[in-house]
Amino acid sequence: MDGVLIDSEPIHARLVSEVAGRYGMTISEREALQFVGIANRDMWRSICGSAGRAEQAEEILAEHEALTRDYFSAADLAPIPGIPELLDAFKHRGFALGVASSSESALIRSILRGLGLGEYFSALVGGDQVDWGKPDPEIYLRALELLGGTAAESAAVDDSTAGIRAALAAGLRCVGFSNKVDDHGDSPPQLRVEGFDEESRRSILDFVVS
C-alpha cells in the first residue's frame, strides 16, 4: 500500500522523525526512509535498541501509530496516478486483489477508504497480523491464503527492497515500483516500472497474465 497505492513514504518518514524527537532521539527523515517496507514494531525495536532505549520501544510504537492514524484520517488522500486504472484493469479481467502491507491493519482500512479504493480488495493483511514482517514471506503467504490462490498463479507489486524479498521468498513473481525512495538494492524484481502510465500498466498486465 504505502509507496504503491499512495505516495506516503515521505509522510511516514516525517512522522517517525517527529516521534523520535519527542523522546530525545534524533532520526532524520532520510534515516527513517531506510526502514521503508519494514513493520513499525521492528523499526522501533531497531531504533530504540541502537539508542539504548529498548524498554521504551512498545510505548513509542503506540504513540507513533496513534499519530499516524490521526494524520491519515484527517488528510486529503489521493492515489498514485494510474493506480485506479490499473486496479480497474485487473478487476475487469477477474483477478482477486489483496493488500499485504507492513502498516497496521486499521491504518490500511482507513487509507483505502480515504483513497476510495477499498472495493477493489478482497483480502487485507497488515503488519500487526503476522509474526514476522517483511522481508519474511509470511505476510504474502497469508494474503495468498485469504485470496485462495497459489504463488504460481499470483504476482505482487511492491516498492521496497524488503517487500520484494518477501514476495520472491513466497514464490511470487514480482513487479518492483521504483518510487525514488528505494532502488531495490540487490533484490531486483522480475519487472521494474517507474510509474503507472498506460504503457507501464500494459507491461504489468502482460507480465501478470503471461
Whether the predicted pLDDT of 182 surpasses 80: no
Give mean pLDDT, residues 136-157: 96
User: Residue 36 — pLDDT band, cuts 50, 70, 90?
Assistant: confident
Lowest mean pLDDT among 1-5, 15-19, 45-49, 184-188: 184-188
* Predicted pLDDT at 180: 63
Give mean pLDDT, residues 195-209: 95
Whether the predicted pLDDT of 134 surpasses 60: yes
Residue 169's identity, in one-letter code, is A
Using CA atoms, how far apart are residues 166 and 114, in angstroms rounded to an integer? 27
Could you tell me if 81 and 87 are in contact, meaning their C-beta atoms sit under 8 angstroms apart? Answer: no
DSSP state of 79: P
The label of the residue with cell 533484490 reads 187
CA Rg value for the chain: 17
* Predicted pLDDT at 43: 94
The label of the residue with cell 523499526 reads 43
Mean pLDDT of the chain: 92
Q: Is 65 helix (H, G, I), strand (E, B) or coil?
A: helix
Using CA atoms, how far apart are residues 98 and 124, in angstroms rounded to an integer? 6
Hey, what's the torsion of the CAs at 29, 33, 38, 43, to 10 degrees?
A: -30
Query: CB atoms < 10 A from the CB of 21, how many?
Result: 11
Question: What percentage of residues in the chain have a pLDDT greater than 90?
Answer: 86
pLDDT digits (tens, 9 = 90+) for 66-105: 999 999 998 999 999 999 999 999 999 999 999 999 999 9
Q: Which three cell numbers stand for residue 3?
A: 509507496
User: Residue 184 — pLDDT band, cuts 50, 70, 90?
Assistant: very low
